[in-house]
Amino acid sequence: MATIERAEVLVTSPGRNFVTLRITTSDGVTGLGDATLNGRELAVASYLRDHVAPVLTGRDPARVEDMWQYLYRGAYWRRGPVTMTAVAAVDTALWDIKGKVAGLPVYQLLGGRSRNGVLVYSHASGVDVPSLLDDVARHLDLGYKAVRAQAAVPGVGGTYGVRKGKLYEPAATSLPQEQPWSTEAYLDFAPTYLEAVRERFGFDVHLLHDVHHRLTPIEAARFGKAVEPCRLFWMEDPTPAENQDGFRLIRQHTTTPIAVGEALTSVWEVQHLITEQLIDYVRTTVVHAGGITHLRRIFDLAALYQVRTGSHGATDLSPVTLAAAVHLDLAVPNFGIQEYMEHADETMEVFHSGVRFEDGMLHPPEEPGLGVEYDDAAAERFPYQRRYLPVARRLDGSVHDW
Ligand code: CS2
Ligand code: MG
Protein backbone atom coordinates (compact mmCIF):
# COMPACT_ATOMS: atom_id res chain seq x y z
CA MET A 1 0.00 0.00 0.00
CA ALA A 2 1.34 3.41 -0.96
CA THR A 3 1.62 5.95 1.86
CA ILE A 4 1.94 9.74 2.02
CA GLU A 5 5.64 10.49 1.95
CA ARG A 6 5.76 14.28 1.71
CA ALA A 7 3.44 17.30 2.08
CA GLU A 8 4.88 20.57 0.74
CA VAL A 9 3.26 23.97 1.33
CA LEU A 10 4.15 26.11 -1.70
CA VAL A 11 3.69 29.89 -1.48
CA THR A 12 4.12 31.97 -4.62
CA SER A 13 2.80 35.23 -6.07
CA PRO A 14 2.49 35.05 -9.89
CA GLY A 15 0.18 38.01 -10.44
CA ARG A 16 -1.27 37.48 -6.95
CA ASN A 17 -0.59 35.32 -3.89
CA PHE A 18 -1.36 31.60 -3.96
CA VAL A 19 -0.77 28.85 -1.41
CA THR A 20 -0.69 25.31 -2.78
CA LEU A 21 -0.34 21.97 -1.00
CA ARG A 22 1.51 19.25 -2.90
CA ILE A 23 1.28 15.71 -1.49
CA THR A 24 3.65 13.03 -2.77
CA THR A 25 3.11 9.33 -2.14
CA SER A 26 5.67 6.54 -1.66
CA ASP A 27 4.84 5.52 -5.26
CA GLY A 28 5.91 8.97 -6.45
CA VAL A 29 2.35 10.10 -7.31
CA THR A 30 1.71 13.78 -6.57
CA GLY A 31 -1.53 15.63 -5.90
CA LEU A 32 -2.25 19.36 -5.67
CA GLY A 33 -4.65 21.24 -3.40
CA ASP A 34 -5.37 24.98 -3.41
CA ALA A 35 -4.93 26.54 0.05
CA THR A 36 -5.34 30.22 -0.86
CA LEU A 37 -7.32 32.48 1.47
CA ASN A 38 -7.18 35.99 0.04
CA GLY A 39 -5.59 38.44 2.51
CA ARG A 40 -4.87 35.74 5.11
CA GLU A 41 -2.76 33.32 3.04
CA LEU A 42 0.01 32.68 5.57
CA ALA A 43 -2.50 31.62 8.25
CA VAL A 44 -3.46 28.64 6.09
CA ALA A 45 0.15 27.99 5.09
CA SER A 46 1.05 27.71 8.78
CA TYR A 47 -2.02 25.59 9.62
CA LEU A 48 -0.90 23.13 6.96
CA ARG A 49 2.87 23.30 7.48
CA ASP A 50 2.93 23.39 11.28
CA HIS A 51 -0.15 21.38 12.25
CA VAL A 52 -1.37 19.17 9.39
CA ALA A 53 1.73 18.08 7.45
CA PRO A 54 3.24 16.22 10.46
CA VAL A 55 0.16 13.99 10.78
CA LEU A 56 -0.09 13.18 7.05
CA THR A 57 3.18 11.31 6.66
CA GLY A 58 2.69 7.54 6.54
CA ARG A 59 -1.10 7.72 6.07
CA ASP A 60 -2.96 5.98 3.25
CA PRO A 61 -3.70 8.53 0.49
CA ALA A 62 -6.54 6.38 -0.82
CA ARG A 63 -8.62 6.95 2.33
CA VAL A 64 -10.00 10.33 1.26
CA GLU A 65 -13.19 10.29 3.36
CA ASP A 66 -11.36 8.99 6.43
CA MET A 67 -8.78 11.76 6.04
CA TRP A 68 -11.54 14.37 5.82
CA GLN A 69 -13.18 13.08 9.02
CA TYR A 70 -9.79 12.84 10.73
CA LEU A 71 -8.77 16.42 9.91
CA TYR A 72 -12.23 17.93 10.57
CA ARG A 73 -13.23 16.10 13.75
CA GLY A 74 -9.71 15.47 14.99
CA ALA A 75 -8.89 19.19 15.21
CA TYR A 76 -11.54 19.87 17.87
CA TRP A 77 -11.69 23.47 16.63
CA ARG A 78 -13.98 23.03 13.67
CA ARG A 79 -15.11 25.16 10.72
CA GLY A 80 -14.04 28.66 9.72
CA PRO A 81 -12.17 29.76 6.58
CA VAL A 82 -8.63 28.90 7.75
CA THR A 83 -9.49 25.41 8.96
CA MET A 84 -11.76 24.55 6.04
CA THR A 85 -9.30 25.86 3.46
CA ALA A 86 -6.56 23.69 4.97
CA VAL A 87 -8.85 20.64 5.03
CA ALA A 88 -9.85 21.47 1.45
CA ALA A 89 -6.25 21.52 0.27
CA VAL A 90 -5.56 18.03 1.63
CA ASP A 91 -8.85 16.69 0.30
CA THR A 92 -8.34 18.09 -3.20
CA ALA A 93 -4.78 16.79 -3.38
CA LEU A 94 -5.99 13.29 -2.42
CA TRP A 95 -8.69 13.37 -5.12
CA ASP A 96 -5.98 14.39 -7.61
CA ILE A 97 -3.87 11.42 -6.49
CA LYS A 98 -6.86 9.06 -6.59
CA GLY A 99 -7.56 10.05 -10.18
CA LYS A 100 -3.94 9.58 -11.21
CA VAL A 101 -3.76 6.15 -9.52
CA ALA A 102 -7.05 5.11 -11.19
CA GLY A 103 -5.93 6.55 -14.55
CA LEU A 104 -9.13 8.64 -14.73
CA PRO A 105 -9.99 12.37 -14.77
CA VAL A 106 -11.59 13.26 -11.42
CA TYR A 107 -15.05 13.85 -12.93
CA GLN A 108 -15.17 10.16 -13.82
CA LEU A 109 -14.71 9.34 -10.12
CA LEU A 110 -17.64 11.65 -9.31
CA GLY A 111 -20.17 9.88 -11.49
CA GLY A 112 -19.08 10.92 -14.98
CA ARG A 113 -20.49 13.60 -17.24
CA SER A 114 -23.99 14.98 -16.54
CA ARG A 115 -23.57 17.70 -19.22
CA ASN A 116 -21.48 18.56 -22.24
CA GLY A 117 -19.66 21.44 -20.60
CA VAL A 118 -19.71 23.86 -17.66
CA LEU A 119 -21.54 27.14 -18.33
CA VAL A 120 -19.49 30.05 -16.96
CA TYR A 121 -19.97 33.75 -16.34
CA SER A 122 -17.30 36.41 -16.54
CA HIS A 123 -16.88 39.85 -14.98
CA ALA A 124 -17.78 42.98 -16.98
CA SER A 125 -17.26 46.31 -15.26
CA GLY A 126 -16.85 50.00 -15.98
CA VAL A 127 -16.00 53.32 -14.38
CA ASP A 128 -19.25 54.55 -15.94
CA VAL A 129 -22.20 53.10 -17.88
CA PRO A 130 -20.72 53.48 -21.40
CA SER A 131 -17.52 51.68 -20.41
CA LEU A 132 -19.53 48.97 -18.66
CA LEU A 133 -21.62 48.40 -21.80
CA ASP A 134 -18.45 48.23 -23.93
CA ASP A 135 -17.00 45.67 -21.52
CA VAL A 136 -20.16 43.56 -21.68
CA ALA A 137 -19.93 43.67 -25.50
CA ARG A 138 -16.28 42.57 -25.30
CA HIS A 139 -17.17 39.54 -23.19
CA LEU A 140 -20.03 38.58 -25.52
CA ASP A 141 -17.59 38.79 -28.45
CA LEU A 142 -15.31 36.39 -26.53
CA GLY A 143 -18.17 33.88 -26.52
CA TYR A 144 -19.52 34.26 -22.97
CA LYS A 145 -23.23 33.49 -22.56
CA ALA A 146 -23.38 34.97 -19.07
CA VAL A 147 -21.85 38.17 -17.72
CA ARG A 148 -21.71 39.83 -14.32
CA ALA A 149 -22.11 43.62 -14.48
CA GLN A 150 -20.64 46.05 -11.95
CA ALA A 151 -20.12 49.81 -12.41
CA ALA A 152 -18.57 52.51 -10.25
CA VAL A 153 -21.14 54.56 -8.33
CA PRO A 154 -20.72 58.21 -9.38
CA GLY A 155 -19.35 60.51 -6.74
CA VAL A 156 -18.53 57.75 -4.24
CA GLY A 157 -14.98 56.75 -5.23
CA GLY A 158 -13.79 53.08 -5.22
CA THR A 159 -16.75 50.80 -5.90
CA TYR A 160 -16.62 47.02 -5.50
CA GLY A 161 -15.96 44.99 -8.61
CA VAL A 162 -14.67 47.65 -11.01
CA ARG A 163 -11.51 46.47 -12.77
CA LYS A 164 -8.49 48.70 -13.06
CA GLY A 165 -6.38 47.50 -15.99
CA LYS A 166 -6.51 43.99 -17.52
CA LEU A 167 -7.55 41.95 -14.49
CA TYR A 168 -9.75 42.64 -11.47
CA GLU A 169 -7.74 42.17 -8.26
CA PRO A 170 -9.22 43.57 -5.02
CA ALA A 171 -6.27 42.57 -2.81
CA ALA A 172 -3.90 45.10 -4.34
CA THR A 173 -2.23 46.92 -1.42
CA SER A 174 0.28 46.06 1.32
CA LEU A 175 -2.08 47.57 3.90
CA PRO A 176 -5.89 47.59 3.68
CA GLN A 177 -7.15 50.32 1.36
CA GLU A 178 -10.17 52.14 2.80
CA GLN A 179 -12.94 52.50 0.23
CA PRO A 180 -15.94 54.86 0.66
CA TRP A 181 -19.46 53.43 0.45
CA SER A 182 -22.92 55.00 0.12
CA THR A 183 -25.89 52.66 0.22
CA GLU A 184 -28.23 55.43 -0.94
CA ALA A 185 -26.10 56.25 -3.98
CA TYR A 186 -25.75 52.53 -4.84
CA LEU A 187 -29.48 51.82 -4.53
CA ASP A 188 -30.27 54.79 -6.80
CA PHE A 189 -27.60 53.97 -9.40
CA ALA A 190 -27.11 50.21 -9.74
CA PRO A 191 -30.61 49.43 -11.11
CA THR A 192 -30.06 52.05 -13.85
CA TYR A 193 -26.96 50.39 -15.26
CA LEU A 194 -28.47 46.93 -15.10
CA GLU A 195 -31.44 48.31 -17.06
CA ALA A 196 -28.96 49.87 -19.53
CA VAL A 197 -27.37 46.45 -20.10
CA ARG A 198 -30.78 44.94 -20.89
CA GLU A 199 -31.71 47.86 -23.17
CA ARG A 200 -28.52 47.41 -25.20
CA PHE A 201 -28.16 43.60 -25.21
CA GLY A 202 -31.66 42.26 -24.59
CA PHE A 203 -32.46 39.12 -22.63
CA ASP A 204 -30.50 36.45 -24.47
CA VAL A 205 -27.48 36.92 -22.22
CA HIS A 206 -27.56 35.80 -18.58
CA LEU A 207 -27.04 38.94 -16.48
CA LEU A 208 -25.66 38.64 -12.94
CA HIS A 209 -24.84 41.21 -10.29
CA ASP A 210 -22.87 41.03 -7.04
CA VAL A 211 -24.20 43.20 -4.21
CA HIS A 212 -21.21 41.98 -2.20
CA HIS A 213 -22.76 41.90 1.29
CA ARG A 214 -23.51 45.63 1.27
CA LEU A 215 -27.21 45.89 2.12
CA THR A 216 -29.51 45.24 5.06
CA PRO A 217 -32.24 42.69 4.39
CA ILE A 218 -34.93 45.31 3.71
CA GLU A 219 -32.55 47.30 1.48
CA ALA A 220 -31.80 44.06 -0.38
CA ALA A 221 -35.55 43.45 -0.71
CA ARG A 222 -35.91 46.94 -2.19
CA PHE A 223 -32.99 46.34 -4.58
CA GLY A 224 -34.31 42.93 -5.66
CA LYS A 225 -37.73 44.41 -6.35
CA ALA A 226 -36.25 47.35 -8.30
CA VAL A 227 -34.30 45.07 -10.64
CA GLU A 228 -37.06 42.50 -11.28
CA PRO A 229 -37.67 43.96 -14.79
CA CYS A 230 -33.98 43.20 -15.54
CA ARG A 231 -34.64 39.48 -14.95
CA LEU A 232 -31.23 38.89 -13.35
CA PHE A 233 -29.82 35.39 -13.34
CA TRP A 234 -29.06 36.25 -9.71
CA MET A 235 -28.26 38.96 -7.24
CA GLU A 236 -25.28 37.77 -5.21
CA ASP A 237 -24.59 38.22 -1.52
CA PRO A 238 -27.39 40.79 -1.07
CA THR A 239 -26.81 40.90 2.70
CA PRO A 240 -24.16 39.43 5.05
CA ALA A 241 -25.08 35.75 5.40
CA GLU A 242 -24.29 35.26 9.07
CA ASN A 243 -27.88 36.39 9.55
CA GLN A 244 -29.55 33.59 7.59
CA ASP A 245 -32.98 34.72 8.90
CA GLY A 246 -32.54 38.01 7.01
CA PHE A 247 -33.09 36.17 3.75
CA ARG A 248 -36.69 35.39 4.75
CA LEU A 249 -37.38 39.13 4.66
CA ILE A 250 -35.83 39.46 1.20
CA ARG A 251 -37.85 36.50 -0.07
CA GLN A 252 -41.10 38.11 1.10
CA HIS A 253 -40.56 41.03 -1.27
CA THR A 254 -38.86 39.92 -4.44
CA THR A 255 -38.55 37.09 -6.95
CA THR A 256 -35.06 38.14 -8.05
CA PRO A 257 -32.98 34.94 -7.63
CA ILE A 258 -30.40 34.98 -4.84
CA ALA A 259 -26.89 33.47 -4.77
CA VAL A 260 -24.91 33.13 -1.54
CA GLY A 261 -21.97 31.19 -0.22
CA GLU A 262 -18.54 32.22 -1.47
CA ALA A 263 -17.55 33.36 2.04
CA LEU A 264 -19.22 30.39 3.78
CA THR A 265 -17.18 27.30 4.54
CA SER A 266 -19.43 24.42 5.59
CA VAL A 267 -22.79 22.81 5.03
CA TRP A 268 -23.92 24.03 8.44
CA GLU A 269 -23.55 27.66 7.32
CA VAL A 270 -25.81 27.20 4.30
CA GLN A 271 -28.14 24.58 5.81
CA HIS A 272 -31.13 26.84 6.52
CA LEU A 273 -30.57 28.96 3.42
CA ILE A 274 -30.99 25.72 1.43
CA THR A 275 -33.64 23.83 3.40
CA GLU A 276 -35.88 26.91 3.64
CA GLN A 277 -35.20 27.72 -0.02
CA LEU A 278 -34.02 31.20 0.94
CA ILE A 279 -31.48 31.08 -1.89
CA ASP A 280 -31.53 29.78 -5.45
CA TYR A 281 -27.77 29.18 -5.96
CA VAL A 282 -25.16 28.08 -3.48
CA ARG A 283 -21.70 29.56 -4.13
CA THR A 284 -19.49 27.57 -1.80
CA THR A 285 -16.19 26.44 -3.30
CA VAL A 286 -13.73 23.56 -3.39
CA VAL A 287 -10.98 25.67 -1.80
CA HIS A 288 -12.90 27.30 1.07
CA ALA A 289 -15.60 24.73 1.90
CA GLY A 290 -13.58 21.66 2.77
CA GLY A 291 -12.66 20.37 -0.67
CA ILE A 292 -14.48 18.12 -3.14
CA THR A 293 -15.63 15.73 -0.42
CA HIS A 294 -17.52 18.38 1.59
CA LEU A 295 -18.64 20.50 -1.34
CA ARG A 296 -20.29 17.44 -2.86
CA ARG A 297 -22.30 17.06 0.38
CA ILE A 298 -23.43 20.69 0.16
CA PHE A 299 -24.43 20.27 -3.46
CA ASP A 300 -26.36 17.06 -2.70
CA LEU A 301 -28.30 18.80 0.10
CA ALA A 302 -28.98 21.70 -2.29
CA ALA A 303 -30.30 19.28 -4.94
CA LEU A 304 -33.00 18.06 -2.51
CA TYR A 305 -34.38 21.65 -2.38
CA GLN A 306 -33.96 22.59 -6.05
CA VAL A 307 -31.08 24.89 -5.18
CA ARG A 308 -28.44 24.91 -7.90
CA THR A 309 -24.69 25.38 -7.72
CA GLY A 310 -22.98 28.63 -8.64
CA SER A 311 -19.47 28.33 -7.27
CA HIS A 312 -17.20 31.28 -6.69
CA GLY A 313 -14.36 31.46 -9.21
CA ALA A 314 -12.47 34.73 -8.76
CA THR A 315 -8.77 34.96 -9.56
CA ASP A 316 -7.87 34.51 -5.87
CA LEU A 317 -8.99 30.90 -6.24
CA SER A 318 -6.11 29.18 -8.01
CA PRO A 319 -6.23 27.17 -11.26
CA VAL A 320 -6.18 24.06 -9.03
CA THR A 321 -9.54 25.08 -7.54
CA LEU A 322 -10.89 26.00 -10.96
CA ALA A 323 -9.98 22.58 -12.34
CA ALA A 324 -11.49 20.75 -9.35
CA ALA A 325 -14.62 22.91 -9.64
CA VAL A 326 -15.03 22.09 -13.33
CA HIS A 327 -14.70 18.35 -12.64
CA LEU A 328 -17.39 18.59 -9.94
CA ASP A 329 -19.61 20.96 -11.96
CA LEU A 330 -19.55 18.53 -14.88
CA ALA A 331 -20.86 15.68 -12.73
CA VAL A 332 -23.37 17.10 -10.23
CA PRO A 333 -27.04 16.97 -11.27
CA ASN A 334 -27.97 20.43 -9.93
CA PHE A 335 -25.25 22.48 -11.59
CA GLY A 336 -26.23 26.11 -12.18
CA ILE A 337 -23.25 28.16 -13.34
CA GLN A 338 -19.54 28.56 -12.58
CA GLU A 339 -17.81 31.88 -12.05
CA TYR A 340 -14.74 32.18 -14.25
CA MET A 341 -12.23 35.03 -14.18
CA GLU A 342 -9.23 34.39 -16.37
CA HIS A 343 -6.03 34.20 -14.33
CA ALA A 344 -2.99 36.38 -15.08
CA ASP A 345 -0.46 35.10 -17.61
CA GLU A 346 2.13 34.80 -14.82
CA THR A 347 -0.28 32.63 -12.83
CA MET A 348 -0.56 30.22 -15.74
CA GLU A 349 3.25 30.03 -15.94
CA VAL A 350 3.17 28.41 -12.49
CA PHE A 351 -0.04 26.36 -12.83
CA HIS A 352 -0.11 24.39 -16.07
CA SER A 353 -3.79 23.59 -16.45
CA GLY A 354 -5.63 21.63 -19.11
CA VAL A 355 -8.96 23.38 -18.41
CA ARG A 356 -10.34 24.71 -21.70
CA PHE A 357 -12.78 27.59 -22.47
CA GLU A 358 -14.97 27.05 -25.53
CA ASP A 359 -18.31 28.50 -26.61
CA GLY A 360 -19.17 29.97 -23.22
CA MET A 361 -18.31 26.81 -21.30
CA LEU A 362 -15.32 25.31 -19.50
CA HIS A 363 -14.22 21.75 -20.15
CA PRO A 364 -12.01 19.72 -17.81
CA PRO A 365 -8.76 18.07 -18.87
CA GLU A 366 -9.11 14.40 -19.81
CA GLU A 367 -5.83 13.33 -18.27
CA PRO A 368 -5.90 11.41 -14.95
CA GLY A 369 -6.49 13.47 -11.82
CA LEU A 370 -7.34 17.18 -11.85
CA GLY A 371 -5.13 17.97 -14.85
CA VAL A 372 -2.98 20.71 -13.28
CA GLU A 373 0.80 20.63 -12.79
CA TYR A 374 2.83 23.04 -10.63
CA ASP A 375 6.00 24.57 -12.09
CA ASP A 376 8.47 25.05 -9.22
CA ALA A 377 11.03 26.92 -11.31
CA ALA A 378 8.42 29.44 -12.44
CA ALA A 379 7.04 29.74 -8.89
CA GLU A 380 10.50 30.68 -7.60
CA ARG A 381 10.35 33.85 -9.68
CA PHE A 382 7.31 35.20 -7.79
CA PRO A 383 7.99 35.68 -4.06
CA TYR A 384 5.09 36.22 -1.64
CA GLN A 385 3.93 39.80 -1.10
CA ARG A 386 1.64 40.69 1.80
CA ARG A 387 -1.63 41.93 0.35
CA TYR A 388 -4.93 42.93 1.96
CA LEU A 389 -8.50 43.16 0.77
CA PRO A 390 -9.98 46.66 1.12
CA VAL A 391 -12.06 47.88 4.07
CA ALA A 392 -15.26 49.79 3.36
CA ARG A 393 -16.28 52.89 5.27
CA ARG A 394 -19.57 54.76 5.02
CA LEU A 395 -19.41 58.47 4.20
CA ASP A 396 -19.67 59.21 7.93
CA GLY A 397 -16.45 57.25 8.47
CA SER A 398 -17.97 54.15 10.12
CA VAL A 399 -16.88 50.69 8.95
CA HIS A 400 -19.18 48.96 6.47
CA ASP A 401 -19.16 45.45 4.95
CA TRP A 402 -16.69 45.27 2.08
C1 CS2 B 1 -16.33 38.42 -5.58
C2 CS2 B 1 -14.88 38.20 -5.33
O3 CS2 B 1 -16.01 37.04 -7.46
C4 CS2 B 1 -16.84 37.45 -6.62
O5 CS2 B 1 -18.04 37.15 -6.60
O6 CS2 B 1 -17.14 38.38 -4.45
O7 CS2 B 1 -14.18 39.03 -6.19
C8 CS2 B 1 -14.42 38.47 -3.91
O9 CS2 B 1 -14.53 39.86 -3.63
C10 CS2 B 1 -12.97 38.03 -3.78
O11 CS2 B 1 -12.89 36.69 -4.19
C12 CS2 B 1 -12.51 38.16 -2.35
O13 CS2 B 1 -11.20 37.63 -2.23
MG1 MG C 1 -19.06 37.66 -4.88
Q: Per-10-residue mean pLDDT for the chain, 402 residues long?
A: 97 98 98 98 98 98 98 97 99 99 98 98 96 97 98 84 84 94 96 98 98 98 98 98 96 98 98 98 98 98 98 98 98 98 97 98 98 98 97 96 95
pLDDT attached to residue 55: 98
Has 312 been annotated as catalytic? no
Question: Rounded CA gap, 67 and 7, in Å?
Answer: 14
pLDDT attached to residue 304: 98
pLDDT attached to residue 11: 98
Question: Rounded CA gap, 326 and 321, in Å?
Answer: 9
Q: How far is the CA of 314 from the centre of ligand 1 (A)?
A: 6
| Ligand 1 atom with the shortest distance to the CA of 38 | 13
pLDDT attached to residue 157: 74
pLDDT attached to residue 158: 66
Q: How far is the CA of 224 from the centre of ligand 2 (A)?
A: 16
pLDDT attached to residue 166: 80
Predicted structure pTM score: 0.98
Has 352 been annotated as catalytic? no
Q: How far is the CA of 263 from the centre of ligand 2 (A)?
A: 8
pLDDT attached to residue 368: 98
| Ligand 1 atom with the shortest distance to the CA of 39 | 13
Q: Which of 312, 339, 387, 401 to mutate to test the pocket of ligand 1 (most atoms within 8 A of CB)?
A: 312
Question: Rounded CA gap, 32 and 90, in Å?
Answer: 8
| Ligand 1 atom with the shortest distance to the CA of 317 | 11
pLDDT attached to residue 168: 83
Q: Which of 234, 235, 262, 284 to mutate to test the pocket of ligand 1 (most atoms within 8 A of CB)?
A: 262
